[in-house]
A and B are shown apart, each in its own frame.
Chain A
Amino acid sequence: MGRTNMISLIEIADRMRNGPKMSSRDWDMALFRKMTELVKEYEIKCPKETTEWINTDDGLADAAWQAAVDFVTDTGCFCINRERVVKFAEDEVKGAIKSMQKKVLIGEGKDARVWKQHKIEGNEPLNIAPGHHAPFTEDLANLVVQNFAMIPRLDFLEGFNFPTIDGYEIYGPPIEAYASKRQVVWLREGIRRAGRPGAAIVYYPITTAASSFLATIDHVAGLRPTDGVLLSVLPDVKVEHDLLTVATVLQSYGYFGISGSFGIAGGFCGGAEGAIIEGLVKTIIAWIVYRDNLYYNGVEHLNHVSGVERVMFPIHFARSVVYQATLRNSYGIPMHWPIPVSELCTDSHLEELILRSVEAAVNGANLYVPRVSRSRMNGGQTPADAELMIDASDAAIRMQIRRSEVYEVFKPVITKLMKNTTPEPGKLITECYDLQRHRPSSEYQQLIAKVKSEFKDCGLQWE
C-alpha cells in the first residue's frame, strides 16, 4: 500500500546525519551524470528555433516531471553540513507529491489571501508578490516598504537585505538576529501604514543561520503564523541543517515557505535540458525537506542570473516546461521571478519585465518580485515595476494569448532583446521614483509609456 503521509522532518534530520557519505565535489559530478542520463532517457529537448518560444508539448512537460521524480527517488539530495546523501523511497516521494498544497491561505482578516495554482493559458488574474528581495539601505526602509505595501493587488510583501542596522555593519550572529527582527518589524509597520494590517509578510534571509530566521518570530510586531519565510534555495540540490532547523521549529508555529527552486543552466545540472529537470527536482525536494509551499522554480541561465548578459533562448522555453510540468503533475504552486539584466529606468529593463510577465500569465505561474538580476544597493526595483508587471499579466490574460502565439505576437521585442544582450546601466530608486508621493519620476513615466506603446503595437491589450 502506498504511503499517504509525509515523511517527518525529524526523520529527514536523521537521514542527514546517517545517510551515505560523499564529498560535495563527488555529489556535484554525480548530479551532472544523473541529469545527463535522465535528459537522454526522457528525451528532454529544447528547440533549435526561436519560433518555439514557449512549450506547447504537454508530453514534454509530463516527461520532465517523471524524470524529476526518478531523480529524487534514485538519487535524493545532499546534506552540505554532514556531507551525506539523503535518500527517499519511491512511496515516500509519491506520497509527498500527493500531499502538496494546491492553495495556501496567507495573511489574516480582510487582508487574507489565497495563493493558489492557476491554469496554463488561464483567465484568472495571477497572485502577486510585488516587492523586495532586492537590497535597500536602512535609511530608505520605512518609505520603500510603505510604497510597495500600497500596491492594491499585493498578496504578500517580502523583506530585503541591507548592509547596516542602526549604523552597525551586519555580520556575526547577534547583529544578524537583531537585523532580521528589524526587517520584519519594518514590514509589519509598513503594511500597517498602508492600511493593510493583516497582509502577509515574508522574511527574506539576512543569513541562512537558523538564529536569524527564528529571531523574527513575534506574533505582535514580527512574523505571525499566517506569514512566510523565504526558506530554501537548494544550490545543486543540496540541503542544510540550519534551514531544516527553521522548518522544524516553524512547522508547529505556522508559516508558509517559499523556495527559490529554479534550475541553473550552465551549472552542474548541465544545459537548459538538465536545468528543466533540476527546477522540478528542487521543487519536490523543497516540499519534502522544508515544507515550502510556493516555488519560484523555472529555469535561469548562470550568466543571466549573475547579470553578465541577457540569455533568452532557449531559457524562456525551458522555464515554461517547468511551470507547465508543475501545474500538470502536482498541486505545487509555481511563481515566475522576472529578473531583467538591465538596470532600472532603461528600455530593455522594462521590455524584458513586460515580456516575462506576459509569459507568466500564459504559463499559469504567479508573479514574484520583479528585480534587476544583479542589483546595486537601492537599484533593484521600484513600485512602478511591480505595477507594470501586474498590468502586463492582466493584459495578457485579457488578450487570451496562447502559448503558441507568444513568439509571433511579440517578435519585434524579442528580436530586439536578443540582438543586444549587454545589460544597460540605469538608475537607483531614488533617481527614478518619488517615494514620498508614490509615483515614478516624469522621466520614468515617459519611458514606461513608451515601452507600453511598443507592446501595444504588438497587440497587448493594456487597460
Chain B
Amino acid sequence: MRYDADAVRKAANEAVNAGVDPVEAMEKGLGLGIKEVGERFHRGECFLPHLVMAADVLDEGAKILQASLTKEASAKVKKGTVVIATVEGDLHDLGKNIVAMMLKANGFDVYDLGKDVRSDAIIAKAKEVNADIIAVSSLMSTTRPYQRELIEELKRLGLRDKFIVMVGGGPVNRGWAEEIEADGYGHNAAEAVREAMLLMEKKKAGVQRT
C-alpha cells in the first residue's frame, strides 16, 4: 500500500479530464482505497499512522473531485460533518484520533480540535462548519462530566436540536450516554462509526431526536 499524494492528485485530475462522474470517482476510487486501509487497521495489519497518511492523501484527491461536483452531488457523497475533540482537562487522544480517522475513512468531513478543548470552543467550531455531529471523548472519570456540560450548554444556547452529540472514551458507557441525553455512543472506533452512520441516516430521513 502506497500513500502517494502526487499519484492521487494525478489520478483525480485524469478522472475529471476524462469526464468520469466525480461521485463515482470518490466512492469507487478514493473511497475504496481508504476503506481498505480502515479494514486493514481493524485487522491489525495497518496502524494509526497509516490511517493518518491515507486520510491526508484522500483529502488531496477529494479536493480536486469536489471542485467539479454540483452542490446536490456533493451533499450526496458526503456522509456528514463531524467536529471531534477530547474534552476540557483531558490530554488523552489516542482513541479519539482513531475514531476521527475511521470517520474520515468512511466518508465524513472531520474537524479534529485536539485535546483539552472547552465546550464553548467545540460549539463555536460546530456552528462555524455547520456540523452534523459533535463527538466528544473522555478518558478519565473526572473529565467525563464535561460531556454533560457540553450538552447542557447546547440546550442553554437553544442549539441542542441542531447537532447530534456522540460520546465515547474509557469511563463512558451507554448508560452514561443515556443519562446525559447524548444521541449516540461508541464502545470502540468501529462501533462509533456505525453509530454515526445510523444517526446520519435517521437525520436525513427526518427522524426526530428522542
Interface residues of A (CB under 8 A from B): 24-25, 28-29, 32, 80, 135, 161-163, 169-171, 176, 179, 206-209, 235-236, 240, 264-268, 270-271, 274, 301-303, 306, 308, 311, 374, 376
Contacts and interface: CB of A to CB of B under 8 A. Distances in A.
Q: Which 9 A-B pairs have the closest CB atoms?
A: A32-B49, A171-B145, A163-B141, A308-B188, A171-B142, A207-B142, A170-B142, A266-B47, A270-B47
Contacts of B89: 171, 207, 209
Contact of A135 (B52, B92, B146, B171): B171
Contact of A311 (B44, B52, B94, B146): B44
Given A135-B141, A207-B89, A374 B48 contact: no
Given A170-B142, A171-B143, A374-B170, A302 B49 contact: no
Contacts of B48: 266-268, 302
B171 to A, nearest CB: 7
A420 B182 CA distance: 33
A24 B114 contact: yes
B140 A161 contact: yes
B77 interface: no
B191 to A, nearest CB: 9
A209 B116 CA distance: 12
Contacts of A236: 94
A134 to B, nearest CB: 12
Contacts of A171: 89, 142-146
Contacts of B187: 308
Given A24-B114, A266-B48, 20 more contacts: A29-B49, A29-B53, A32-B47, A162-B141, A171-B89, A171-B146, A179-B142, A206-B140, A206-B142, A235-B92, A235-B93, A236-B94, A266-B41, A266-B44, A266-B47, A267-B47, A267-B48, A271-B44, A306-B188, A308-B187
Contacts of B144: 163, 171
Interface in B85-142: 89, 91-95, 98, 114, 140-142
Say what secondary structure dominates the interface of chain A: loop
Contacts of A374: 170
A65 B91 CA distance: 28
B91 A235 contact: yes
A301 B146 CA distance: 28
A301 B94 CA distance: 12
Contacts of B41: 266
Given A170-B141, A209-B89, A268-B49, A306 B44 contact: no
B91 A240 contact: yes
Contacts, number: 75
A264 B49 CA distance: 13
Contacts of B143: 171, 207
Given A135-B171, A302-B94, A308-B188, A28 B114 contact: no
A236 B98 CA distance: 14
Contacts of A240: 91
B52 A264 contact: no
Contacts of B92: 235
Nearest to B145: A171
A308 B91 CA distance: 21
18 contacts: A25-B52, A170-B142, A176-B142, A206-B142, A207-B143, A235-B94, A240-B91, A264-B94, A265-B47, A267-B47, A268-B48, A270-B47, A270-B49, A274-B47, A301-B44, A302-B98, A306-B95, A311-B44
A209 B140 CA distance: 12
A272 B144 CA distance: 31
A262 to B, nearest CB: 13
A308 to B, nearest CB: 5
Nearest to B98: A302
A235 B91 CA distance: 9
Contact of B170 (A25, A176, A267, A306): A306
Contacts of B94: 235-236, 264, 267, 302
Nearest to B42: A303
A240 B95 CA distance: 19
A302 B144 CA distance: 21
Nearest to A25: B52
Interface in B141-171: 141-146, 170-171
Contacts of B91: 80, 208, 235, 240
A28 B52 contact: yes
A163 B140 CA distance: 9
A170 B138 CA distance: 14
Nearest to B190: A308
Contacts of B171: 135, 163
B52 A29 contact: yes
Contact of B142 (A24, A161, A301, A308): A161
Contacts of B140: 161, 206-207
Contacts of B47: 32, 265-268, 270-271, 274
Contacts of B52: 25, 28-29
Residue of A240, A266, A311, A376 with highest tally of chain B CB at under 10 A? A266
A119 to B, nearest CB: 33
Nearest to B169: A306
A306 B96 CA distance: 12
Interface in B23-74: 41, 44, 47-49, 52-53
A289 to B, nearest CB: 15
B111 to A, nearest CB: 14
A164 to B, nearest CB: 9
A215 to B, nearest CB: 13
A240 B90 CA distance: 12
A81 to B, nearest CB: 9
